[in-house]
A and B are shown apart, each in its own frame.
Chain A
Amino acid sequence: MSYTLEDLFRLVQKPGRYTGGEMNSVVKDKEKVNIRFAFCFPDLYEVGMSHLGMKILYGLYNEVPDIWCERVFMPDTDMEELMRQNGIKLFGLESRDSIDTFDFIGFTMQYELSYTAALNMLDLAGLPLRSLERDSSHPIVIAGGPCVSNPEPIADFFDLFVLGEGEEVSLELFELYRRHKAAGFDRDKFLTEAAKIEGVYVPSLYEISYKDDGTIASVTPVNGAPAKVRKRIIEDLDRVYYPDRFVVPFIDIVHDRGMSEIFRGCVRGCRFCQAGFIYRPVREKSPEVIDAQSRALCENTGYEEFSLSSLSTSDYSQLETLLPRLLDWAEKQKTNISLPSLRVDGFSEELAARLNILRRSGLTFAPEAGTQRLRDAINKNLTEDEILSTARKAFSAGWTSVKLYFMSGLPTETMEDIEGIANLSQKIVDSFYKNPDKPKGKGVNVSVSVSCFVPKPFTPFQWEPQDTMEMLQEKQKHLRDSVKTKKISLKWHDAATSFLEGVFARGDRRLCAVLEEAFKRGCKRDAWGEHFNLQTWIDVMNDLGVDPAFYANRRREYDEILPWDHLDFGVSKKFLIRENQLAHQSRTTPNCRQSCSGCGAAVWKKGVCVE
């Protein structure tokens, strides 16, 4: 006896992940739409539903009368097993129709370890994994998101990639699709034409050749595809679409609140941070627009909390204007404002009190490195004095715990820098006990979380070798030995997942075969700790003759052709080389507001570049 989809809801954990029907989800008459789009997030519902980009594009696409965009997430293991046993294909939450009949399947690629999940979803949809094995009868399979700054390791599976911000370019792509569909759809013709849209990268139109040493010899566009594909940006954030309602989930998700985007890009230029480079230039929304959008969002969702979303909220130039304006209505409606990635200093006391800053955000710092020398090398402009003075203030206000985020394996890092992590943490502990106003009868807890640095494309560290797992483990041991008190608790991220992330972050097309084989051997949920199995990956790479160290642990020369060199995210190679050299001299670069460092993003003549 085989079960229906409805039957499966009774058998699985958390059926609310699969049933759809949430408030503000969009159901259209499928007979009356021309383009059906499956928006796929290669992770669980709880994770995907927390993602702002998906909410924006879902709302934008569904505003268009002849487009119906549905949500699709990775099912959990119990649901997947039942779907496979009962021949039920991956379906859209809104219609419950199998997505293999849709016009487009679009993935957002947020992290490298979700690549196999995307393959699994294509497989669950009953589609051939490779673009070459699909034809005009299949949906067009596309992807966007930060990982497509180097989409080469997944190039064989996707028909096209959308580089940069998707609001305008995807509508242009749909318009082209309408014309081709009306004229009798031919996939190859469509893809050749799509490649002419700025921001669209069709990987099958580029031939890659390699040198004997394994590095790239040449990248050759064919059929009139451009030699360089430049990412797209939205020029005026005040005028771009923003959803006035989010789908309100039934089940608890990771970030279950409203989100108001306040700007894109980041002025800081921390050299390890990919987001700080690929989203340039910084463009802000005006306080009036943010205010109106936040208000509409809260009214239409009933959310009791919304956050101001950006890469570095404190850097919003009109925060002191915006916050009182938002608070005026939010306080009346008993709506909380949450401010992630906020520097807690630099607020007036009155505003800090109204925002309840300390209670809300807790006390969290991301010094990223343990010594000033290394912080200068990575261009993280946070000084020990700033950290200690804020911590003192917080202790006086009754706080007893502090969270610190660091990275290990940063370029130029030595054991001295590792000891610096322990020393800085110790200074915070000491400042608690030296504080005359400290909370009576209480101890302090400094929790230190250390992640492993992964060099990423389009950053000044794109040429740097990643530390091997052995090096990272040695540094970890040294840090444990350097911590002398139980007031400091240490948490270390798994070096094995970072290693695999490092392989794929700067990988080339030869890794597509590795991904496919690893998927066939059961790797489907690498981003979920308990399902990650490094040994399978090592075995696959051994069997296919691929050396992971070539991708992760090798220093590249400045003149090497990198797998992503034919893509243009606005920052020039010249600038990145200069930044790399400054890093090795432990010299900082001013942020975009202090002075322009000529990264290249000024070609758009927008945002901070022309302020």
Chain B
Amino acid sequence: MKEIRIRFKKIGRAKYISHLDLTRTMIRAVRRAGIPVWYTEGFNRHPYVTFAAPLSLGFEGLNECMDTRLVEDMPMEEMVTRLNSVLPEGIEVIKASDPVMKPGDIAFAQYRLSFLKGKFKGIEGNIREFLARDSILVEKKTKKGDSKKIDLMPLLEKAAIETGDSAVMLEVTLPCSSTETVNPGLISAALNDFLTEKYGGENTLFCDITRRDLLNAEGLPFE
């Protein structure tokens, strides 16, 4: 049996596929593609696939990770080609390779938050003002189900602002491990609260969130 790591994009229409639904989608894609994967034992046997870091519904991912096991050899390129010929629009396999790191090595994730310019006036100035504050306190749900207050400010110190033609982008690196995870949605929600406080009314500011890559504790790309 051979461990295989598959890296893929999940963009466009596919960003609305939830994690649970992605698992089912991938299992069926593996079957359609005729990849010789290992099946789980037991009552409902299905191809074994596992995802190191689930992606929230609505986020795009540019270098997502799925591990599986082969029971027969198949060239990596062939696997990529076969999968891409049966995957739905928006999911695209970039490469298949031998795993280098352990899934548990993932410590951070790089995100890009894009705020569409047309939706709100002076968005860039407002983001700068938002980031210039001393602290950004938000409620974060814990695994136990209750919530705690955390300050996003230390995480945003290295955040880079970039202005494109149609959007203002914020690049951030956030914890993404089994022990600590910060959802970038907290940042856009806090910015929304800030704008609501400043201007009043409902100024829902939609934000496109893209996970660009997964990193280990040293900040190296996960492989």
Contacts and interface: CB of A to CB of B under 8 A. Distances in A.
Nearest to B45: A334
Contacts of A334: 39, 45-46
A326 B44 CA distance: 19
Interface in B9-49: 12-14, 16-18, 20-22, 24-25, 27-32, 39, 44-46
Interface stretch (B69-77, B87-95, B130-138, B145-153): B87-95
Interface string A6-35: 010110000110011111000000000000
Interface in A313-341: 333-334
A250 B90 CA distance: 12
A250 B86 contact: no
A15 B21 contact: no
A2 B13 CA distance: 21
A19 B87 contact: no
A302 interface: yes
Contacts of B29: 23, 302
B16 to A, nearest CB: 4
A225 to B, nearest CB: 45
Contact of A23 (B27, B39, B45, B88): B88
B28 A16 contact: no
B41 to A, nearest CB: 11
B17 A301 contact: no
Interface string A287-320: 0000000000001111110000000000000000
Given A302-B28, A302-B29, A304-B27, A16 B16 contact: yes
B220 interface: no
Interface string B106-145: 0000000000000100000000000000000000000000
Interface residues on B, range: 20 to 34
A10 B58 contact: yes
Nearest to B34: A299
A248 interface: yes
A251 interface: yes
Contacts of A9: 16, 58
A416 interface: no
A306 to B, nearest CB: 12
Nearest to B40: A334
A252 interface: yes
Contacts of B22: 250
Given A251-B21, A334-B45, A7 B206 contact: yes
Nearest to B25: A250
Given A10-B206, A23-B87, A301 B28 contact: yes
Given A303-B28, A304-B27, A20 B13 contact: yes
B87 A302 contact: no
Contacts of A23: 25, 28-29, 32, 86-88
Contacts of A299: 32
Contacts of A7: 206
A230 to B, nearest CB: 42
B55 to A, nearest CB: 14
Nearest to B29: A302
B46 A304 contact: yes
Contact of A16 (B18, B87, B89): B18
Contacts of B44: 304
B21 A302 contact: no
A336 to B, nearest CB: 8
Nearest to A9: B16
Q: Which of B12, B31, B58, B206 has the most CB of A within 10 A?
A: B31
Nearest to B28: A302
B57 interface: yes
Nearest to A96: B13
B195 to A, nearest CB: 13
B88 A22 contact: yes
A314 to B, nearest CB: 25
A337 to B, nearest CB: 14
B119 to A, nearest CB: 8
A19 B16 contact: yes
A21 B18 contact: no
Nearest to B207: A10
A29 to B, nearest CB: 15
B206 A19 contact: no
B30 A302 contact: yes
Q: Which 10 A-B pairs have the closest CB atoms?
A: A302-B28, A21-B13, A302-B31, A302-B32, A15-B16, A250-B21, A23-B88, A250-B17, A19-B16, A21-B89
Given A250-B16, A302-B30, A304-B44, 7 more contacts: A16-B16, A19-B13, A21-B89, A252-B21, A252-B24, A302-B29, A334-B45
Interface of B: 12-14, 16-18, 20-22, 24-25, 27-32, 39, 44-46, 57-58, 86-90, 119, 206
Interface of A: 1, 7, 9-10, 15-16, 19-23, 248, 250-252, 299-304, 333-334
